[in-house]
Amino acid sequence: PNHASPSNEVFYKHPEFLFADAGIPRSQWFDVVDLDYANPDVWKFMVNVAEYWIREFDFDGFGIDVPDLIPRNFFRYMKHRLIKAKGGDVFILGESSGNGIEKWGMDCRYGFLSFFQMKEIFEGVIPPPKPPQRVISHLVKRLHPNETWEAFGPLGANYGLKRHIETYGDALTKCSAVIMTTLPFVPEVFAGMEIFEYRDESSAIGFMIKMLNLRQRHSALRSHNVQMVEHDHPEIACAYLKHARNEIALVIVNFRKSEVKLTLSIPTNAIAPLKFAPVKDLLTGKPVRLEWVGKNEISIKLPPFGVVLYVAPLRGKNYAVLSTVPHFTQSHPNTCGASTLAT
């Protein structure tokens, strides 16, 4: 609601809705007109538009492009009116990298972190490619509690950016899919990307569907407790643990086109469940036996662009030990509440 086409007939009827910049350059968006939110009639008009989509088409929410450019109180006003019109919750997504947007009416933030962090690993935003372990560790530290990603982000990317699969191919897109579905993002699908009926599991799309299904079934994959695992090839692969109340998951991704054998230093609080509880490979559905090469070290060989996704149950004393793992974010829902989002 912060910019629109200059050919929109509304602006011929209501030129007072427009922001006049007196010829002063304000942004690179020279082909759109900005709305003047100092005018209270603009507030009422824009909320009336949103209420129309709820009333006529039962929309569940809206995506707001660059909400930072609009007065914060507008979103509080809008959210109040829309909840009343809907007769229940309304989901608002803010496309912003700014902090604190949840305080002014946004339920989730779409800040492009995932897209550019994957680009750092694949080729380097500024070449060369960066070490996966370092990039993912940095991403975990930066994640906002309500950060979002597109469920087919690696395939569809942002609407203004090239798709990962087009730029990097199937193999790296699958690597990206594992990261996107195991770190604490909130799945999001843009209109026109609803391709869930595609059943070829060997394809990047089919693999993403499989990962989304695994995420739904395993609380560890949805958990916001992430613990990086040190290993001897941080320039090739990344590794981390995901902790939930009932299970622990080990995630390893080889981002390079060569085979690698990793020696991982398992944190003390995760040794017991990985050593003594039954470990299952979620990608094959088969049990696995880890190769322990020391008191707290395991050895794992990964093929080019290979992925490890193991899970072990937590029982009794195992959980008592793991409960000391700090939450890096506050707990919040892991799936979007909106089934129909307008942008």
Query: Over the stretch 238-282, which tens digit does the pLDDT of each residue have?
Result: 999 999 999 999 999 999 999 999 999 999 999 999 999 999 999
pLDDT confidence bin for 26, thresholds 50/70/90? low
Other C-beta atoms within 10 Å of 258: how many? 10
Rounded Cα gap, residues 112 and 149, in angstroms:
8
Q: What is the mean pLDDT of residues 143-148?
A: 74
Query: Over the stretch 107-134, which tens digit does the pLDDT of each residue have?
Result: 888 877 777 888 899 998 888 999 999 9
The answer to whether the bond into 128 is cis (omega within 30° of 0) is yes
pLDDT at 196 over 70: no
How would DSSP label each residue in 145-191?
A: TTBEEETTHHHH--TTS--HHHHHHHHHHHHHHHHHHHSS-EEE--T
What CATH architecture is 225-322? Answer: Sandwich (2.60)
Rounded Cα gap, residues 239 and 3, in angstroms:
42
- The model carries a pTM of 0.82
Q: Within the chain, which residue ranges are assigned CATH 2.60.40.1180? A: 225-322
pLDDT at 330 over 50: no
Rounded Cα gap, residues 253 and 115, in angstroms:
17
